[in-house]
């Protein structure tokens, strides 16, 4: 079949458009120091310090003293429902801890109140600020036991009142802190994880607390209130899963309700370590709610109980 000759230059142009548009597009980001603030307000407890430091380049070595920010102006304001500042709480730098600023007055953090932190680190520096609303109070009505054998099917539990949270459900974390962290108290399954060998004689084995420091305070990931059944009287019972217990002996169990800042910080920071549906190597920035800086200005409401973990019957 005879075909007519035609001008195909338009098609060549179209191909060029798709083929030749450049090389890999990457953006180099460069480190610049940013102010980092850190403070954790706890309902009904004294106003905590505010720590002020700077971020450093990835290749630098972190040293708490060298990153501490001195001579900053640190103020926390109490805001009313309209966001108007109704009270000023001033902070002064601590003499014995660089970068730590403590309240100049005896203040107690109030549940339900909104606090605004402002940090001015120099005349030319941008004002770093953040706000947090302290979660409402809740109460521990009763722990199920003061002592319990490890793996007891009854499990240790706490009956607590429900915390009212506007516009959503409460977010908890559970913190288990061993009050007598020794090798003898380290539960065998964790002992296997830490030492990767069978220890035949605990009395002669050389150990230090640093060997298992990551287990001294064991914190769950954020857990929604929706995991628990709320009883008709507004209470809910929270069971302690045995996998979260790493030591025999006295254990301080703390149930904490997080504000939005802490919740967001924790979930994003944990996703930096992998495990989410992000691909390996994809590291998101933390959602920290700090304006003109980094860090965490969060608040909590919490209850605690101490329970003695006994060795299970052989």
Binding residue (CB under 8 A) for other proteins from 9, 13, 61, 124: 61
* Listed residue (109, 168, 116, 158) closest to 137, CA to CA: 109
Pick the closer one to other proteins by CB: 83 or 274: 274
CB neighbours (10 Å) of residue 220?
15
Least distance in Å: CB of 306 to other proteins?
Answer: 16
As a whole number of angstroms, the distance between CA 241 and CA 244 comes to 6
Least distance in Å: CB of 43 to other proteins?
Answer: 13
**Which residues, 6+ apart, have CB-to-CB distance to 74 below 8 Å?**
50, 52, 90, 91, 101, 117, 118, 119
- Region 160-219 residues binding other proteins, contact defined as CB under 8 A: 169, 173, 175, 187-189, 192-193, 196, 213-214, 216-217, 219
Q: Among the candidate windows 50-58, 77-85, 124-132, 140-148, which touches other proteins by CB under 8 A?
A: 50-58
Q: Among the candidate windows 87-95, 116-124, 135-143, 295-303, which touches other proteins by CB under 8 A?
A: 295-303
Number of residues that bind other proteins (CB under 8 A): 97
Binding residue (CB under 8 A) for other proteins from 278, 291, 292, 310: 278
Least distance in Å: CB of 239 to other proteins?
Answer: 6
Least distance in Å: CB of 86 to other proteins?
Answer: 27
Q: Which residue's structure tokens are 């608040």?
A: 299
C-beta separation of 233 from 275 below 8 A: no
As a whole number of angstroms, the distance between CA 79 and CA 132 comes to 10
């Amino acid at each position: 079949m005879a075909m007519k000759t035609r001008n195909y230059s338009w098609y060549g142009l179209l191909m060029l458009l798709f083929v030749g548009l450049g090389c890999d597009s990457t953006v180099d980001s460069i480190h610049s120091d940013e102010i980092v603030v850190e403070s954790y307000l706890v309902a009904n407890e004294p106003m905590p310090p505010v720590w002020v430091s700077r971020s450093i380049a990835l290749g630098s070595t972190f040293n708490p003293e060298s990153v501490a920010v001195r001579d900053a102006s640190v103020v926390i304001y109490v805001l009313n429902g309209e966001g108007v500042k109704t009270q000023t709480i001033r902070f002064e730098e601590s003499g014995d801890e660089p970068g730590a600023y403590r309240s100049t007055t005896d203040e107690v953090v109030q549940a339900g109140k909104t606090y605004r932190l402002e940090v001015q680190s120099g005349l030319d520096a941008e004002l770093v600020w953040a706000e947090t609303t302290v979660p409402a109070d809740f109460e521990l009505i009763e722990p199920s036991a003061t002592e319990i054998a490890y793996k007891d099917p009854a499990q240790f539990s706490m009956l607590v009142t429900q915390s009212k949270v506007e516009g959503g459900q409460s977010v908890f974390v559970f913190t288990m802190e061993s009050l007598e962290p020794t090798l003898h108290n380290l539960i065998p399954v964790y002992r296997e994880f830490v030492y990767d060998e069978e220890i035949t004689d605990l009395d002669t084995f050389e150990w230090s607390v640093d060997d298992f420091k990551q287990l001294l305070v064991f914190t769950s990931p954020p857990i929604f209130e929706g995991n628990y059944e709320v009883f008709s009287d507004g209470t809910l019972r929270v069971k302690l899963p045995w996998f979260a217990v790493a030591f025999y002996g006295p254990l301080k169990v703390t149930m904490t309700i997080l504000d939005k800042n802490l919740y967001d910080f924790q979930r994003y920071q944990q996703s930096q370590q992998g495990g989410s549906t992000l691909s390996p190597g994809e590291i998101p920035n933390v959602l920290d709610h700090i304006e003109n800086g980094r860090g965490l200005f969060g608040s909590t409401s919490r209850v605690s109980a101490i329970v003695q973990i006994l060795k299970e019957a052989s």
